[in-house]
Structure 1
Amino acid sequence: MLDVREAVKVATEYIQALYTPQPLPELRLEEVERSADEKFWEVTLSFVVREPTAYLSLGEAARTREYKLLRVDAESGQVQSMKIRRV
């Protein structure tokens, strides 16, 4: 059975691997919650996304934070899903 620290580590490693070769800028933990049936850890992570804007000619880009909700099986440690988390 995974504890909360292990679940966060699994989720972080999983999302980093998906977005390779570029590391996710400013990756941070936002929330962790155990599902009602206690079978899963629901881990919300966020990172910065730079989007081109009209200011691109000035060397700047808009910065927004994207949130992902990862569902980690508390027994096996396997990530079951990753969804966009609306804040």
Structure 2
Amino acid sequence: MLEVREAVRIAMDYIQSLYGDKQLPELRLEEVELSADGQFWEVTLSFVVREPTAYLSLGDAARTREYKVFRINAESGQVQSMKIRRF
């Protein structure tokens, strides 16, 4: 069975591979939880997204934080899913 640190590393590597060369500003770990049946690690990561808005001067952007939840098989380490976490 994967240790929690390994599950977090897998999630971090996975998100960075998906976004390729695009920087993920302020990527951070938010939550980690083992499913009730012990089969999956659920790892929540977040990063900052800068979105231009009409209300800000040129060159500025609104900063929001996006949250992604990764479901990782606790035995194989395979990422089963990535979902958007909304509050």
Q: TM-score, normalised by structure 2?
A: 0.95
Count of aligned positions: 86
Q: Write out aligned runs for 1:27-38 (5 A).
A: 27-38=27-38
- Structure 1 runs (4+) greater than 2 angstroms displaced: none
* Superposed CA offset, 1:24-73 (max 9, x none): 1110000000001000000000000000112251x210000000000000
Length-normalised TM-score, structure 1? 0.95
Which ranges of structure 2 fall in alignment gaps of 5 or more residues?
none
Q: Which has the larger helix fraction?
A: 1
Match of 1:69 in 2: 69
User: Partner of 1:53 in structure 2?
Assistant: 53
- Paired with 1:60 and 1:23, the residues of 2 have a C-alpha distance of 17
